[in-house]
Amino acid sequence: MSDASATPDLQRSRGIEALKERSYGSFFVVCAVITVLTTIAIFVTLLSDATAFFSEYAIADFLTGTTWSPNPRGDGYIFGILPLVIGTITVTLMAALVALPIGTLTAIYLSEYASTRVRSVLKPMLEILAGIPTVVYGYFALVYITPVLKATLFPSLQTFNALSASLMIGIMIIPMVSSISEDAMSAVPDELRQAGYGLGATKYEVSTKIVLPAAMSGIASSYILAISRAIGETMIVVVAMGSQATFPEVYTGLGGIPYIHPGDVLLESGMTITVAMVNIAGGDLTGGTLPYDAMFALGLLLFVVTLVLNVISDWIAQRYREEY
């Protein structure tokens, strides 16, 4: 075929490829715009209804109140979120104490110690934990974990308690920590490992003093993501922790410093912010009522907390990111 006859076909082919590239780019832009618009729409919806709530209920009473009662009492509705905040913080911290060290150590093993064959089996098995419905975790905590803890370590443990729920949430978010952390460690160049071995370092020293610091930005991001997931968990808490929004007793310590005994929170029933939203949404409420608007105020609070955590995660990733 002559060059003269091939030129139109070549130009047509290039035109088709250019059209495909523009189509792909436009599609990706549309997806990005939809994501941003969805986030904005969620924020505007939460803000509008939360504003209606705060126009009728003082924000100071909302943030500092120690009683949560969306059902009307003799003195009306009471929307103090401190019991919900304490329940949420308790569950999140305990879940983090379970997931972060176990997930990090698992990631170190998968990245530095496990063979390729072992890693190809263990990592998918570990990630299966993330696909189990959370309600299954909740029932497992209620039916198995709570009776075992009550019969062995904590005789005063209530049927619905924060400890069992926290343990299950911690187990649930382990794959999130281990998988992302392992990916970050695997991205560390082998040259750094070989340099450590060349200086006489052991595998443990290379893993903990070279690979771990080099992958810290990705590991820290996995921590923030896992904590955000724990804050937003609902079904495990509903099933295993119950829904009693009680403010624990405050004791006076040395120097008159007030404190809350951990056993009063961990071993008893409680309520988190997400559970409070579920209870409100499941009640016989209509739009425009004060309890209905309170649900959006709680949602706005969670939105802000999650946004702050994501900003912190991005800052850590940018601050400690290593370019190789």
Q: What is the 3-state secondary structure (H, E, C) of 67-87?
A: CEEEEEECCEEEECCHHHHHH
Q: Report the distance separating Cα 123 and Cα 100, nearest Å.
A: 17
Query: Which residues face 78 on adjacent strands?
Result: 69
Structure tokens at 320: 């400690």
Q: Report the distance separating Cα 261 and Cα 249, nearest Å.
A: 8
**Three-state DSSP class for 50?**
helix
This prediction's pTM:
0.84
Contacts 24+ apart (CB under 8 A), 203-210: 203/112, 203/113, 206/112, 207/108, 207/111, 207/112, 207/113, 208/108
Characterize the bridge pairing of strands 76-79 and 250-252: unpaired
Query: Which residues face 111 on adjacent strands?
Result: none
Q: What share of the chain is helix, strand, coil (3-state, %, to 5)?
A: 75, 5, 20
Tell me which residue of 244, 262, 274 sits closest to 159, measured CA to CA: 244
Tell me which residue of 137, 158, 138 sits closest to 147, measured CA to CA: 158
Angle of helix 216-231 relative to helix 290-320, nearest 10 degrees, comes to 170
Angle of helix 162-186 relative to helix 82-108, nearest 10 degrees, comes to 40
Q: Are the CB atoms for 135 and 239 separated by under 8 Å?
A: yes
Q: Report the distance separating Cα 275 and Cα 279, nearest Å.
A: 6
**Three-state DSSP class for 217?**
helix
Q: Report the distance separating Cα 188 and Cα 27, nearest Å.
A: 33
Q: Report the distance separating Cα 85 and Cα 80, nearest Å.
A: 10
Structure tokens at 317: 């990733």
Q: Are the CB atoms for 239 and 136 separated by under 8 Å?
A: no
Looking up tokens 């913080």 gives: 89
Tell me yes or no: is domain 68-320 CATH 1.10.3720.10. yes
**Tens of each residue's pLDDT in the chain, 324 residues:** 445 555 776 677 777 777 778 888 888 999 999 999 998 998 898 898 889 888 888 888 888 888 888 876 656 678 889 999 999 999 999 999 999 999 999 999 998 888 888 888 888 888 788 788 888 999 999 999 999 999 988 888 888 999 999 999 999 999 999 989 998 898 888 888 889 888 888 889 999 888 998 888 889 889 988 998 899 888 899 899 888 888 888 777 777 787 777 777 888 888 899 888 888 877 666 667 888 888 899 999 998 888 888 888 778 777 766 665
